Homo-oligomer: A and B are copies of this chain.
Amino acid sequence: MPELKIGLPKGSLQESTFALLRAAGWDFTVSSRSYYPTVNDPELKAMLARPQEMSRYVERGVMDVAVTGLDWTLENDSDVEVIAKLVYAKATRSPVRWVLAVPEDSAIKSAKDLEGKVISTEVVNLVKKYLAGHGVNARVEFSHGATEVKVPYLADAIVDVTETGSSLRANRLRIVDTVAESVTAVVANRAALADPWKKAKMDALVLMLQGALSAKEKVLLKLNAPRKNLDAIVGILPSLHSPTVNDLSDKEWTAVETIVDSGVTRTLIPQLKGLGAEGILELGVNKIIP
């Protein structure tokens, strides 16, 4: 039986990655000390690895495909193909950023002010590229962790990852610039992509992942609309596709069904009610394939 070797991120992304894969139809489980998850699909063989190292293993072909951060793929300068970007970082839905940060009261206001300074970071290569881009010479030291506490004593500035900036603010740091953005990505080994079976398997994986990810932000709205206001009601429904409208036995009323962003219901529903809609139901969905 053919087999696709898939790498999954160990650590802070593991739980959310497993949850998304479960939503997509693959249920990975791993005992607390193992690095080899089992999965309800005999065509997959899974391995956990640090996101920092993942792209190296995909490049070497130890893995055919992996879910990892785009940032480390760039930091490692790995020769792999990014076949999908998935935005589902832990706390928010926005991309994470690697930012240049300094103490609140530092004199450093822009990249230019870094000349001759010491910068502590986990992404030494990304920072060196950034400095080169600004024509600045500075000492870049690899940080083994807790980068945000390195300034001001152990370094003049840091480049660290952040989602909301709240941890930086709590450490009284000021963000000077964004060095790189990152999202979770599906990256593939180039030789694996040339194998039709593996290619099809990866395509199905990406389709289902995106279907599950999309479903997290959508809901199914069902409502009874008075026929006289049907046009007005359909007019305010922000659906991509036109909504499904069905007759009801009571000819004054119709049944409307549509998919909308979950974020709009709190403003949409009061409006619908204002237009006479009744029996408004919101249901969650598992997957949406448009």
Contact = CB atoms under 8 A, between A and B. Distances in A.
A280 interface: yes
A232 B249 CA distance: 18
A56 interface: yes
Interface in A275-290: 278-290
A173 interface: no
A244 B280 CA distance: 13
Contact of A286 (B166, B283, B290): B283
A235 interface: no
A284 B281 contact: no
A287 B279 contact: no
A215 to B, nearest CB: 8
A270 B207 contact: yes
A146 interface: yes
Contacts of A282: 211, 215, 285-288
A36 to B, nearest CB: 9
A14 interface: no
B278 A290 contact: yes
A131 interface: no
A284 B287 contact: no
A245 B241 contact: no
B284 A283 contact: yes
A144 B279 contact: no
A192 interface: no
A280 B220 CA distance: 12
A77 interface: no
Interface stretch (A46-54, A79-87, A107-115): A46-54
Interface string A241-265: 1001110110000010001001101
Nearest to A258: B279
A207 B145 contact: no
A144 to B, nearest CB: 4
A283 B280 contact: no
Contacts of A56: 141
B263 A144 contact: no
A28 interface: no
A251 B249 CA distance: 16
Interface in A19-61: 24-26, 29, 31, 34-35, 38, 40-41, 47, 49-50, 52-53, 56-57
7 contacts: A50-B144, A208-B265, A220-B281, A244-B248, A259-B281, A273-B289, A280-B288
Given A50-B144, A53-B141, A220-B283, 17 more contacts: A25-B262, A25-B266, A31-B170, A38-B164, A47-B153, A53-B144, A56-B141, A204-B270, A208-B269, A211-B280, A241-B279, A259-B279, A273-B289, A280-B289, A282-B288, A284-B284, A284-B286
